[in-house]
Chains A and B, each alone.
Chain A
Amino acid sequence: MPLNPTVAVVTLRATLGRRRALLFAIAPVILIVLTLVLRAGRPPGTLWPERVLGDFGFSVLLPLTALVIGTSVLGAEIDDGSIIHLLATPVRRRDVIATKFVVASVLTMLFTAVPELIAGLIAPSGAKLAFALFAGALVGSVIYSAVFVMVSTVTARAIAVGLLYVLIWEALLANFVGGARILSVGHYALGVANAIAPDQALNAGLSLATSLVMAIVVAAGALVLATRRLTSFAITGDSA
């Protein structure tokens, strides 16, 4: 994948600047604190680790953190117009998208998959489930990042559109309408986790093969569309 180190450095500094890392850390801290509180207050043997780490982790922590980071790496620059300085150079647009996508994926992994692993190791459900959730969150971080980078190139209201998608599609329809799971990034992540540590309480609706194939298709499709959109980037709101 053609990455541009200069784009990566500037993107990282822009994304993590102004103490934004603290904002990204809020949800992971909630997950870990919740796990600590539940471990201290509940007897072992109940299904709370799967509910907290699977449902909260994959339906709330993962998509919302990916949304904030995925739309920050590109959408913020498009919003404030500073993207012009990047696009007024011969850098290929696909390199820009690929770099933004990798930066978003790595940051999302850092703020979702790593906390999932830590919380999983704290919970009394065993290391195997912890690593399964970690692997699922890694896959989810990559796919969500591709989707939200793409959304940034399609609409100026990326956060609002992404939030509606997460709350209505991922958190509601995908969990209650069986057919919707085939197009649910959260369920691709759960499918991977469930394949490593099979557990009915995870409510995984897709097999490993289906999850991986769909994950690749969705990520590749999102990145191709994002590249096309950025290649045709036009300055809007022109006063002529």
Chain B
Amino acid sequence: MTTPHPAPPRPATRAVLADTIELRNVSRWYGNVVAVNDITMTIGPGVTGLLGPNGAGKSTILHMIAGFLAPSRGELTVAGRPSWRNPRVYEGLGLVPERDSVYAFLTGEQFVQSTARLHRLPDPDAAARRAIDVTEMADAAGRKISTYSKGMRQRIKVAAALVHDPRILLLDEPFNGMDPRQRLHMMDLLAKLGAEGRAILFSSHILEEVERVASTIQVMVAGRLAASGDFREIRRLMTSRPHVFSLRTSDDRRLAAALMGRPDVAAVELTGKGLSVRTTDYGAFTRQIAVLARAEGIRLRELQPTDESLESVFGYLIGASSNAS
């Protein structure tokens, strides 16, 4: 699972290649700034989440896969073909870009039909109807896109990306700006498309979104692939990492001595403003700290986790991945 990223085996047949994205030692830099650093990954059928904080390199990866950026180094293929300067790769690929700019003067139906015609489909109107049905946009398809909500725009973009029935679908931050209901709808749609055997790759910086819909994840941090594989394994790694809490109490020194006797506490530091406690078991510590304080006759004034940001979670994963390799 996680950690080192051994070179994945090369798919053997065209049938397998049709729904496979492969990156081999791909890097992308802008001048002296490295945006993506030596990434090797294979994306196959099913839903894959590309997870990472803002600035991690997710969009750069998606843009390279979509053929809108050239890798500075490495090899990148979509369905067995390089995507850079190769529009024909879109015969089997659909893209839902993050930017909300669509042809707002067209109706949803006209937009999807236009896309079908650009793909030279034999029956563009039927293909458009099918894609609109899949995204449940039939009721609004006759309205101009300029009147759509953010969620509806996102869905009509998905309909356009699906109109030629691609085996691979890329979505850049598809849940951004959506309300909870729209978000659930999009998650269901992606899960359904993945269950049909398509390769669905979407980027997100929100752990819960990825958890809900992706069976496989690729975690990006600072341009590097920090972890990749089965989501549950990575989730377990994330929850078993050390957590740091800051505490303010009526007697910091006495509580520090008591905490040191607990097996789930790795380190305690008197900071001057209170205590800093590092625990290896988030659940046990948060359940037991109040009990312990009461038993010692100490009043807890403040208890808060200090490293719950995504960056710290991802930073930990990077450390775990380097240690394991």
Known contacts A239-B54, A240-B58; decide if A87 and B103 are in contact (CB<8 Å). Answer: no
Bound together, the chains give a CA A233 to CA B68 distance in angstroms of 6
A93 touches B95 (CB 8 A): no
A residues whose Cβ falls under 8 Å from a Cβ of B:
4-7, 9-10, 13-14, 17-18, 80-82, 84-93, 231-235, 238-240
Enumerate chain B residues within 8 angstroms of A239, measured Cβ to Cβ: 54-55, 59
Enumerate chain A residues within 8 angstroms of B54, measured Cβ to Cβ: 239
| Interchain residue pairs with CB less than 8 A apart (19) | A5-B117, A7-B118, A10-B103, A10-B106, A13-B103, A14-B103, A80-B101, A81-B97, A85-B111, A85-B160, A87-B87, A88-B95, A88-B161, A89-B87, A90-B88, A90-B89, A91-B87, A92-B87, A238-B63
Q: Counting chain B CB atoms within 10 Å of each CB, which of A10, A14, A89 scores highest?
A: A89
B35 touches A238 (CB 8 A): yes
Q: How far is the CB of B102 from chain A (nearest CB, A)?
A: 6
B59 touches A238 (CB 8 A): yes
Q: How far is the CB of A4 from chain B (nearest CB, A)?
A: 7
Q: Counting chain B CB atoms within 10 Å of each CB, which of A82, A92, A231 scores highest?
A: A82
Q: Counting chain B CB atoms within 10 Å of each CB, which of A7, A87, A231, A238 scores highest?
A: A238
Q: How far is the CB of B263 from chain A (nearest CB, A)?
A: 42
Bound together, the chains give a CA A231 to CA B85 distance in angstroms of 6
Q: Does B175 contact A (CB under 8 A)?
A: no
Nearest chain B residue, comparing its CB with the CB of A6: B117
A88 touches B99 (CB 8 A): no
Enumerate chain B residues within 8 angstroms of A13, measured Cβ to Cβ: 103, 105-106
Q: Does B296 contact A (CB under 8 A)?
A: no
Known: A4-B118, A88-B90, A239-B55. 14 other contacts (CB 8 A): A9-B114, A10-B106, A14-B105, A82-B101, A84-B95, A85-B102, A85-B103, A87-B68, A88-B93, A88-B161, A234-B70, A235-B69, A240-B36, A240-B58
Q: Does B151 contact A (CB under 8 A)?
A: no
Bound together, the chains give a CA A234 to CA B56 distance in angstroms of 19
Nearest chain B residue, comparing its CB with the CB of A17: B105
B residues whose Cβ falls under 8 Å from a Cβ of A:
35-36, 54-60, 63, 66, 68-70, 85, 87-91, 93-95, 97, 99, 101-103, 105-106, 111, 114-115, 117-120, 157, 160-161, 223
Enumerate chain B residues within 8 angstroms of A235, measured Cβ to Cβ: 63, 68-69
Q: B35, B91, B103, B161: which contacts A82 (Cβ < 8 A)?
A: B103
> Which 8 residue pairs are nearest across A and B when measured between Cβ atoms?
A89-B118, A81-B101, A81-B99, A6-B117, A88-B95, A235-B68, A80-B101, A82-B101
Q: How far is the CB of A120 from chain B (nearest CB, A)?
A: 35
Known contacts A84-B95, A89-B119, A240-B55; decide if A234 and B68 are in contact (CB<8 Å). Answer: yes
Q: Counting chain A CB atoms within 10 Å of each CB, which of B57, B68, B120 scores highest?
A: B68
Nearest chain A residue, comparing its CB with the CB of B61: A240
Enumerate chain B residues within 8 angstroms of A89, measured Cβ to Cβ: 87, 90, 115, 118-119
Enumerate chain A residues within 8 angstroms of B115, measured Cβ to Cβ: 85, 89
A10 touches B114 (CB 8 A): yes
Enumerate chain A residues within 8 angstroms of B66, measured Cβ to Cβ: 88
Enumerate chain A residues within 8 angstroms of B106, measured Cβ to Cβ: 10, 13
Bound together, the chains give a CA A123 to CA B292 distance in angstroms of 100
Enumerate chain A residues within 8 angstroms of B119, measured Cβ to Cβ: 89-90
Enumerate chain B residues within 8 angstroms of A86, measured Cβ to Cβ: 118
B97 touches A88 (CB 8 A): yes
Q: How far is the CB of B50 from chain A (nearest CB, A)?
A: 12
Bound together, the chains give a CA A14 to CA B58 distance in angstroms of 31
Nearest chain B residue, comparing its CB with the CB of A80: B101
Enumerate chain B residues within 8 angstroms of A88, measured Cβ to Cβ: 66, 90, 93-95, 97, 161
Q: How far is the CB of B117 from chain A (nearest CB, A)?
A: 4
B55 touches A93 (CB 8 A): no
B99 touches A90 (CB 8 A): no
Enumerate chain A residues within 8 angstroms of B36, measured Cβ to Cβ: 240
Enumerate chain B residues within 8 angstroms of A232, measured Cβ to Cβ: 70, 85
Known contacts A81-B97, A231-B85; decide if A240 and B118 are in contact (CB<8 Å). Answer: no
